Structures are given as C-alpha cells and as structure tokens.
Structure 1
C-alpha cells in the first residue's frame, strides 16, 4: 500500500511538472471567458511542441507582479500591432476579436468597443515576443501596461475548466 501511494504521488508530480499545470483564476481580467475563482488545468507540453497561435489562452510568468497570469495572445512575433477606435490592427489590417462578448462590452461601456479597448500603439514585436491581453480590457493589467512577453515566459496554453 505504501509503495502504491508513493508511486501514485510520483506519477502525479511528473504529470504536474511536465504535462499539465493547475490554474486558479485570480480576479476578473479574463471575465467573462474565465471567472474569478475558476479552477482548471493548462497544457505545458503543447507550448513546447506546437506554435503559440493568436487568441490562445496562455499562462505567463509576470516578473512585475511575481506571479502566474492567465491572458489571451493578441500579437505574434514580428507583427506590428495597434488598437485604434476599439479595433485591433495587425500589420495594418483589421482583425476581428470574435471571442469578446459583445453583450458584456455594451453593458460595460454604453458605446461598445471604442471605450472597451483604448487606443494603443503601434508597437512592433521582436522575433520572440507576444502581446497578451485580458478579455476584460477595462481592468486587465496586460501587455498594454507591462509590454510584450517573451516566449520563455509563457508556461502553458489552453485552459480546461474543472470548477466554476
């Protein structure tokens, strides 16, 4: 029984160190996509094996806050990014952010996107930089404040909710 218990603990540690990372959502910066107190897992190995894509949800280490944050990838390496009049522009082209909850935006702003995401940029990302934002742009502390994140700071991607 003791051998089984140690074996099980060892297997769980290996899984949690190399494959998945438990995540507890602190705050409302990703609301309404993720809620304060939500618990889930993110995939650590997928970051190593596959590309990080636009609009992936990632966990990233923030040196400024000395903690793990959950944000959405908006800008990719070598892109020029800008927010103008509530619209996202990548390399001069408008990119639809269909994941944003239009009803939530209208409820929060009265004017829609224009006040929800203030003007920002343009900023050109380096070859290993990503621009991350929270889905709740009105309160999120993200790349608009702290600047781009390096790929090495991104720990995992995707969010699989367990408890809301």
Structure 2
C-alpha cells in the first residue's frame, strides 16, 4: 500500500469517531441549553455564578483543559471507535461535571436539588470546554473569568473558596 493510500485509510478511520465525538458535544450543548431554558437561567445569573467561582477552581479547569488537549488523553478518548469512544467520553465528562459541580457549588451533598440550576449550567459549560478539542491552549476559561470579574467589578471575586463534603 502506498503512503497516499495509507493516509486516506487513516483519515477515513478517524472520520467516524470524530462524527460520534462531535455528536456527543452537540448533545451536551443541547442539554445545557435545554436545562438553562427550562430553569430560566438568565445571563446575569450566569455571569454572577461564573464570577463567584474561586480562582483556584478556574485554574484547575484551565490546567485540566490544557492537559486534556495537549496530552494523550484527548487522543485516547476521541480516538476510540464507535460506542466505546462515546462511553469513554461520557465517563470523562460525567466525572469532570461532578467534580466541577462540587468545586463551583462549594459543597456536594446527597441531595442535588439543593444546588441552584445556574451552578449546573456553569459546571456544564466548564465540562464542555474540557471536551471541546483545541481549547486548552487558548486559556479561554481564565480570559472569560477575568472578563466577568471586570463586568461585576470584582464583587464576586473569591481567592480561596471553602469546599465541604456535606
């Protein structure tokens, strides 16, 4: 097989997993949007919630996004074929979503109904950024965090937030 045919086969093999991965991202975006609409989360609430995320949580999300995009983790998740890749991506997304919800809310209890809907929307956006390819080197999370701090005049700025287990 010539090098040209090998490249065609390689790109064809990566095309289908990429379609599944993009469909998963669209599904997550639709889910976040549906949840925000259903619970009437306003842009003002979103900005306030994002601005009140403690700085170490923003840095953690930024580092995780960087590691996910520049390391081999993205290739391991997105490179898997079919259902296995989708399940792996959902597992990573689920774990990161629960972690971000815990960090953004400051607490996680067995009763998730005590957490406000805007927290779920913010945690969902941070999870989506982790899964989105090639966002880790742009520092988008930190830049947006600085922007919302400027908009709110640092009214919600938290250097170190308290996180409890219940």
Q: Establish whether TM, by shorter chain, passes 0.5.
A: no
Q: Higher helix share goes to which structure?
A: 2
Q: TM-score, normalised by structure 1?
A: 0.30
Structure ranking higher on relative contact order (CA contacts 8 Å, 6+ apart): 2
